[in-house]
Amino acid sequence: AFDLTVDVPIRATLFELGPDEHALLLLVHHIAGDGQSVDPLRRDLVAAYEARVASREPQWPVLPVQYADFAVWQRELLGSEDDPDSLVSAQIAYWRERLADLPTEIELPADRPRPAAASHRGARVTFSVPGDVHAGIQTFALSNNTTVFMVLQAALGVLLARSGAGEDIPIGTPVAGRGDDAVDDLVGLFINSLVLRTDVSGDPTFRELVARVRESDLEAYAHQDLPFERLVEVLNPERSLSRHPLFQVMLTLNNAGVTPAPERGEGTDAAGVIDVVLHPVETGTVRYDLNFHLGERRDNGGLRGVLDYSTDRFDRESAQLLADRLVRLLTVTVESPDAPVSRADMLLEGERRQILEEWNDTAAERAGTEATSLSALFEQQVARTPDSRALQFEGSALSYRELDRRANCLAHLLRSMGAGPESRVAVAIPRSLDLVVALLAVLKVGGAYLPVDSEYPAERIAFMLADAEPTALLTTRQLKSRLPAPTGLQVVVVDDPATRRQTESFTGEHPPLAQVSSSHPAYLIYTSGSTGEPKGVLVPHRGIVNRLRWMQDEYRLTSRDRVLQKTPASFDVSVWEFFWPLLSGATLVLARPGGHREPAYLSGLIQSAGITTVHFVPSMLDAFLREPTAAACTGLKRVLCSGEALSAATEELFHRTLGAELHNLYGPTEAAVDVTYWHCEGDRPGRPAPIGKPLVNTRVFVLDGFLRPVPVGVSGELYVAGAGVA
């Protein structure tokens, strides 16, 4: 290290390796010399050594200018910013316009978010561009009146754009700053940094993109004299200790004969008496998120590359993937320069098969004779455990036989009103025994139930009922007058004595005859409408049955399990809460209406009712875990989360508080509840829980805006296929 406040920024140390072998280490700080200083410094060193070996003083040529002369000349050339006609004023005006509305920072496929302040710790991976690809780049550049660097910049722009950085990508690069032949032999720091704004919008061909880059770069090179530090002061971008201003990715091409990381033994022979070898020092520090260095080989062609990366943000594997993908893109874009850049395949060998096939190998065949509807599966469970407790709500309970009979009676009433397969029946009943009876009755008649939350605004309820066109509405005396039911809609008040007498007139021994197929809808739930008008999602029996069978295979409920149902019926998580225990012989325990909002009540209910399985939205889980009595819920076997991102802090709090398993699931309303799952085992400290892998007979793909699979670690949109799709 150098203390630049007191040290001369060059240091020489002589090592004696043997009687006739020595090594001279000449350590130069970057402030005293740039890349183009290496050759004149090396020539001077060799000349001095040869002269001393010959017992004479070196004869230095007289240089036309000194470094101090250059500094004075540069200041005079730029002129004063107070002079509107000066060069510095013209360059400031250019950069103000050129960098207007520049992105504050670009999104990168990083492993970690930015810390509040960058540590500047870094590491390095290496890569290489084969000789034939390098030759193709040179030929392409020559035929398109451009440079190798511009081709590299265009390819890097594609890599970053396809990695989630957007279409407006600032890339930094150093320029030599030696605009006059008189300074060619000077040792000193002449370089400046330029911001090269790379426009990848509109899906151009690679040839078109290189032409854009060429035009933009030539303008930038013509305005390269304004020092970067002054540019930052003038533009005054939003500053942060966490990132470099104006750009976070740098690209350097060294084609002056000095490669960025020479192998041991390379060097220049000085009349057989001295070998001079360049060894850039790895300081373990970085100024940028990513810094790509490429150097043209002297021997058999090709490019040797180094990627310095911030360890605040990237793991070594991720940095290596980026470097390897750049090589892949250079290969395919130069081979097919007239194809749109969106078609450039940046997936590495084997990666496409892994993403599309191996990770989505979830197919599982089921015996064709198995029941394929929720109602049939429930009836099979009734036959297996008729006298076991099926349902519990506060002080009341029903056995499987009793629940089945009550649901059959109500189903016969619905059938008499015209409900059947493909029909919809709205259900606006608070959480209670009647609610579960109503849902089963709708399924038994072959209909799809539409849960209606009475706490929704009247306008939303009216919209849902008008849009769904239900055959009937099941509700209670308390809620009937508050529901804006369309004129002519048949309303059944389930807790009215007259309705009780009417349903009891039907036999409860058998359900109504209804030919329910796996493709018939089982339920209709509306999306939240947070991104527009709510959309009704019809989920067929095939999808939800597949989902519940997977759940039983994965988590294995038994007759000793007790599952808490606390999610409002208008949210699809409630579907598995209602039916998974009833298809598995477990006991379904209902929380009181509104109880899902009360951590203290839930803690008491979990303990008193012996709950083994419960679902929480992560934010509610966090509130529950902070309840003083939560740690006493020792009977819990498993907690399932979905609906929000599960933070690392909440997961860590869970494992400190409870001894149960924690599972993170994900799924949109437009699928049968969940499509992916993950077991949170506490082995990812500091990282939020992933949504996991696809469940059985489900496939998930992360695609870009052109519907192409994105590489590992790159952001995209999630697409779902398979049995669970609504």
DSSP state string for 145-166? T--HHHHHHHHHHHHHIIIII-
**Residue 70 pLDDT > 90, yes or no?**
no
Residue 269, pLDDT score: 45
Angle at 62 between CA 56 and CA 65, to 5 degrees: 145
**Residue 368 pLDDT > 50, yes or no?**
no
The percent of the chain in helix, strand and coil, each rounded to the nearest 5, is 35, 20, 45
Q: Residue 366: pLDDT band by 50, 70, 90 thresholds?
A: low
- Is the distance from CB of 587 to CB of 389 less than 8 angstroms? yes
From the list 690, 714, 689, 688, the residue with the least C-alpha distance to 702 is 714
Residue appearing with tokens 């007759």:
559
More confident residue, 551 or 510: 551
Q: Which helix (H) or strand (E) holds 269?
A: strand 268-270
| Full DSSP string of 517-528 | -TTSEEEEEE--
Residue 265, pLDDT score: 37
Residue 282, pLDDT score: 78
- Residue 100 three-state SS: coil
More confident residue, 250 or 255: 250
From the list 223, 232, 181, 235, the residue with the least C-alpha distance to 77 is 223
Question: DSSP H helical segments within 99-147, as ranges?
Answer: 131-143
Q: Residue 18: pLDDT band by 50, 70, 90 thresholds?
A: very high
Specify burial of residue 474 (Cβ count, 10 A radius: 0-12, 13-18, 19+). Answer: buried
Residue 715, pLDDT score: 87
Q: Residue 370: pLDDT band by 50, 70, 90 thresholds?
A: low
Residue 530, pLDDT score: 78
The pTM (predicted TM-score) of the whole model is 0.81
- Give all strands (DSSP E) within 500-555, no chain letters: 521-526, 536-540
DSSP 16: E
- Is the distance from CB of 446 to CB of 471 less than 8 angstroms? no
Tokens representing residue 643 in the block: 């609906």
CB neighbourhood size of 224 (10 A): 16
- State the chain's mean pLDDT as an integer: 92
- Is the distance from CB of 657 to CB of 624 less than 8 angstroms? no
- Is the distance from CB of 676 to CB of 126 less than 8 angstroms? no
Question: Dihedral of the CA atoms 170, 173, 177, 179 (nearest 10)?
Answer: -80
Region 144-173: mean pLDDT is: 96
Region 186-207: mean pLDDT is: 94
Residue 538, pLDDT score: 96
How far is Cα 121 from Cα 71, in angstroms, rounded to an integer?
32
Residue 618, pLDDT score: 97
553-593 pLDDT tens trace: 999 999 999 999 999 999 999 999 999 999 999 999 999 99
Residue 449, pLDDT score: 98
Which range is least confidently modeled, 11-20, 207-216, 369-378, 454-463?
Answer: 369-378
253-300 pLDDT tens trace: 987 554 443 333 344 444 446 778 877 777 889 999 999 999 987 666
More confident residue, 473 or 54: 473
From the list 178, 180, 175, 177, the residue with the least C-alpha distance to 196 is 175
C-alpha dist (Å) from residue 174 to 178, 214, 414:
12, 16, 77
Strand order in the sheet with 472-475: 490-493, 472-475, 424-428, 448-451, 521-526, 536-540
How far is Cα 682 from Cα 656, in angstroms, rounded to an integer?
10
